[in-house]
Amino acid sequence: MITVHTVEQLRAAIRLARAEGKRVGFVPTMGNLHDGHIALVKRAQDECEFVVASIFVNPLQFGPTEDLDKYPRTLAADQQRLEAAGCTVLFAPSVDQMYPDGQQDQTLVSVPGVSEGLCGASRPGHFTGVATVVCKLFNMVQPDVAVFGEKDFQQLAVIRKMVRDLSLPVTLIGQPTERAADGLALSSRNGYLNEAERAAAPQLYRTLCTVADAVREGRRDYPALLSQAIARLEQAGFRPDYLELRDADTLQPAGADSRRLVLLVAAYLGKTRLIDNLQFSIDS
């Protein structure tokens, strides 16, 4: 694996791969890689002979009070993990390389509809920052295939809409969430949890499973069911931001005729904001 830091170096490496007729897969990340990221790289390898991963902690997607400065930066360890996973190129640009004219007057990609509500409500501007950097990265790498984790369900919906609306020539793949043995979704932010918070954290996924079971068993009083689940999360020490049941295809609130559903949750444990989701289907 080679690590490149400039767009010029990246494009030179990709030109060579293209000349050899290789398909290019892409896994964008913010680093501090865990098994969930490695699963994305492996998925890209299933589709493509040449796999590019990027590590860039994108300032444009962090709010003024969010964890940009303390977001874990672990480049050396990440390089080792990517190399062991068989990644071909690591693109690790600087902020100046990504935003050479600064961020103030940067052209933005804003994706209406799916960006609103859920994380979009509590993190204003976040999805515009994500869509903008992913669009730039797609233009730099020009991949055939890009792989994203389904853990960031709304993010994936935003990127799917951006790709469709802007006719970007890339096939998107959503990779199911990797979980610890106790069910906690793998996330770089899990590293912020202290011992007691880490012990409580699996309640987030357990709550999603309990709600999904109740819906599968026939409960349709969604508001009451979700309020009970929020109360349970509070009892377990969480400060819930939202817990919602949405149509998995449109991300609109689940209606009487929604069959493919997704439960989405964001909740704070101490200062750490965790998100998770669970997709499931019902027959009627």
Active-site positions read: 37
Q: Where do contacts with ligand PAF occur on this chain (CB under 6 A)?
A: 28-30, 58, 61, 130, 133-134, 152, 155
In the complex, least distance from residue 120 CB atom to ligand PAF, rounded to whole angstroms: 13
In the complex, least distance from residue 188 CB atom to ligand PAF, rounded to whole angstroms: 8
- Written as six digits, the tokens of 241 are 């931001």
In the complex, least distance from residue 27 CB atom to ligand PAF, rounded to whole angstroms: 9
The 3-state DSSP class for residue 1 equals: coil
Helices (H), the chain: 7-19, 35-47, 75-85, 95-98, 119-122, 126-141, 153-165, 195-200, 203-216, 222-235
Give Rg (Cα) of the chain: 19
In the complex, least distance from residue 58 CB atom to ligand PAF, rounded to whole angstroms: 4
The single residue listed with the structure tokens 């970007």 is: 168
The per-residue DSSP string of 119-161 comes to: HHHHSTTHHHHHHHHHHHHHHHH--SEEEEETTSHHHHHHHHH
Residue 45 or residue 61: which is nearer to ligand PAF going by CB? 61
The single residue listed with the structure tokens 């043995």 is: 181
Ramachandran sector of residue 21 (left: φ over 0; alpha: ψ -120 to 50; beta: rest): left
Residue 144 or residue 152: which is nearer to ligand PAF going by CB? 152
Residue 37 or residue 246: which is nearer to ligand PAF going by CB? 37
Residue 133 or residue 215: which is nearer to ligand PAF going by CB? 133
CB-side exposure of 84: number of CA atoms within 13 Å?
A: 12
